[in-house]
Amino acid sequence: MVHFVGAGPGSPDLITLRGHRLICEADVIIYAGSLVNPALLDEAKKECRIYDSSRMTLEEVTEVMREAEDSELITVRLHTGDPGIYGAIREQMDILDNMGVEYDYCPGVSSFCGASAALNLEYTLPEVSQSVILTRMEGRTPVPERESVRSFAAHQATMVLFLSAGMAEKLSESLLEGGYKKDTPAAIVYKATWPDEKIVICTVGTLAEQAAKAGINKTALIIVGDVVKRTSPARSRLYDPNFTTGYRRAVTPEDS
């Protein structure tokens, strides 16, 4: 059995209890060495075989899985953050399906959640933005034109950009072309939840300059939108005394 497991954003105590249990039980661990905190591997059994997938091809990874399966071993495929976001898990699952190997998927804390925690930020502020766009600039992996940063910018919703810190200048241009103002708040969060985490608060206009100044060109998220101001012009209805919810009656003048 192969378990795809989300390792969380970096800090080893941000893995789920289930993910932790699977690491402790694994006979084979294949971890994404470029981003997964190796401290998580300290919990593995002494005899566990550990592979760093950053040095392997898809074929090599799936061969390790197949061999482990033939010996009825437990394999953990450890991906950074949550495996469902830029995790390249579908291609592995397709091969496992073809080989008739069973697998399951244990979610993880994505780095975009690690970044909001690092910033004490709520992505969805009433009357500011009620949506979060998770996206990336086009790199070697193409992005469909209908999903360009420029086209998403038109929504002015909160935007979180993965895999784009090395293209901050182009990113800033696309955001401006799409309709963001130069002074729209932005944040760069490098290695969220790691001991060497860095936070840079800037604007869409100063993004590239600030990223260069901080020496950040990878392992970072860029967050764009007015929510980065971290001030709320309106409070939520959920806790408003004047609103009745499924759990609480509105406070009427007679109550007070």
Q: CB of 88: closest distance to ligand SAH in angstroms?
A: 9
Q: Return the residues of window 7-66 that contact ligand SAH according to CB under 6 A.
A: 9-10, 35
Alpha helices in 42-161 (DSSP H): 58-70, 90-99, 111-119, 149-153
Nearer of residues 115 and 186 to ligand SAH, judged by Cβ: 115
- By three-state DSSP, how is residue 223 classified? strand
User: Two tokens at 94?
Assistant: 């397709």
Q: Return the residues of window 130-159 that contact ligand SAH according to CB under 6 A.
A: none
Candidates 53, 192, 24; CA nearest to 116 is 192
| Residue closest to ligand SAH when measured from CB atoms | 81
User: Around Cβ 115, how many Cβ atoms within 10 Å?
Assistant: 26
Q: Which range in 50-58, 74-82, 139-147, 150-158 contacts ligand SAH by CB under 6 A? A: 74-82
User: Two tokens at 219?
Assistant: 């392992």
C-alpha to C-alpha distance for 16 and 47, rounded to whole angstroms:
23
C-alpha to C-alpha distance for 105 and 142, rounded to whole angstroms:
26
Report the side by side order of strands in the sheet with 132-136: 132-136, 158-162, 220-224, 185-190, 198-203
Nearer of residues 1 and 199 to ligand SAH, judged by Cβ: 199
Angle formed at CA 43 by CA 190 and CA 15, multiple of 5 degrees:
45
Nearer of residues 101 and 165 to ligand SAH, judged by Cβ: 165
Q: CB of 243: closest distance to ligand SAH in angstroms?
A: 34
Residue tagged 């925690």 (tokens): 117
x/- site string to ligand SAH, residues 77 to 116, per CB under 6 A? --xxxx--xxx----------------------xx--xx-
x/- site string to ligand SAH, residues 176 to 205, per CB under 6 A? -------------x-xxxx-----------
Binding-site ranges for ligand SAH (CB under 6 A): 9-10, 35, 79-82, 85-87, 110-111, 114-115, 162-163, 189, 191-194, 219-221
